Amino acid sequence: MKKVAVLGSGSWGTALAMVLADNGHDTRLWGIEEHVVAEINNNKTNTHYLPEGVVLPNGITAYTDLSKAVEDVELILFAVPTKAIPSVSKQLSETVTRPVSIVHVSKGIEPDSLLRISEIIEMNLSDKVMKDLVVLSGPTHAEEVSQRMITTICATSINSDAAEHVQEIFSNNNFRVYTNNDVVGVELAGALKNVIAVCAGILSGMGFGDNAKAALMTRGLSEITRLGILMGASPYTFLGLTGLGDLIVTCTSVHSRNWRCGYQLGQGKNLDEVLENMGMVVEGVRTTKAAYQLSQKYNVEMPITETLYNVLFNGADVKSSVETLMGRTKKHELDDMNVLINN
């Protein structure tokens, strides 16, 4: 049995806390919403974030006090929104007194700085606090994990022992964990698929069907891979669970906040209205800005990302933007990709 702290009492943090508690670990769940923490401790439910009828295991105790939540733990899991990673990791650096294993499940890229999540954490946590760092990512919806439905995911680290340690802690009959060592590829894939998922929602909201969805996902994966290769990622990562797998689940499910956000945009609602209605963070919106900035930095063609960026941040009309995207100069399907992979 391990002592583990999960930072973030939203849907994903709570679902992963359930996995850990099911595996017999002493699981502490930290959150900033007092009513959520009280409900978890008193009722063993989290009805604001998880489906009705989900009952949490007895091995979970929730806290609003970070220092109490992480006291004497061996592993700390970040399950907070991307924009909260800098502040939470700084708080943690002032609280933890000995090296612990750090895992994160956040999927995003910080605009302007263009830092990946692991880079932000590494900036704020010294070796005195962080023993090793693992990314846990894959095709997962918290709603299904909390209902103990079959799920697969990857534990990724440059330290193979650390990845295997996380694999052992989280694995059970419902939750199968693979390992990987391509941190750059896994983090990029996890973040950028949210951009494509917003676009998938837009197409559905506009009334387009499966043909359009298949085209978007395939060409979206192509431009994510182009950028990833230029940033040092393995092209094979984008064909695995954290790439293609996560793209499929996020672009095709109503559980996806990014898809739901796009769906409302496709129906003609404005972005501010949509975000206000969502009630939870839509990572794909913020990541679209970072993705566009990365495409400019690395001079890589990402037409889907650029189109969404113009819709979200420059007021471009959705219908006209789709027509412009479809009317681009004709080209060979594998232009650029063969050159990038071979080099």
186 found inside a domain: no
131 given a catalytic annotation: no
What pLDDT was estimated at residue 337? 62
* Domains identified in the chain, total number: 2
What pLDDT was estimated at residue 213? 94
What pLDDT was estimated at residue 336? 65
Cα separation of 121 and 85, whole Å?
Answer: 7
What pLDDT was estimated at residue 343? 54
Q: Are residues 201 and 293 in the same domain?
A: yes
Q: Are residues 134 and 216 in the same domain?
A: no
Domain that residue 77 falls in: 3-181
Is the pLDDT assigned to residue 68 strictly greater than 70?
yes
How is residue 155 written in tokens?
């534990």
Residue ending a domain, among 163, 181, 199, is 181
Q: Are residues 172 and 200 in the same domain?
A: no
Which residues, at least 6 apart from 278, have a Cβ–Cβ distance to it below 8 Å? 257, 260, 261
Is the pLDDT assigned to residue 341 strictly greater than 80?
no
What pLDDT was estimated at residue 333? 77
What pLDDT was estimated at residue 334? 75
Residue (of 198, 144, 197) closest to 175 by Cα position:
144
68 found inside a domain: yes
pLDDT 10s digits, 299-308? 999 999 999 9
pLDDT 10s digits, 12-60? 999 999 999 999 999 999 999 999 999 999 999 999 999 999 999 999 9
Question: Domain of 204: which CATH number?
Answer: 1.10.1040.10
67 found inside a domain: yes
165 found inside a domain: yes
Q: Are residues 218 and 329 in the same domain?
A: yes
Question: Which is catalytic among the residues 68, 107, 193, 269?
Answer: 193
Q: Are residues 195 and 173 in the same domain?
A: no
pLDDT 10s digits, 158-212? 999 999 999 999 999 999 999 999 999 999 999 999 999 999 999 999 999 999 9
Tokens 């419902």, residue? 174
Residue ending a domain, among 133, 153, 181, is 181
Is the pLDDT assigned to residue 87 strictly greater than 70?
yes
How is residue 87 written in tokens?
């502040």
Question: Domain of 16: which CATH number?
Answer: 3.40.50.720
Is the pLDDT assigned to residue 283 strictly greater than 60?
yes
336 found inside a domain: yes
Q: Are residues 32 and 143 in the same domain?
A: yes
- Whether the CB-CB separation of 101 and 74 falls below 8 Å is answered with yes
Cα separation of 343 and 335, whole Å?
Answer: 14
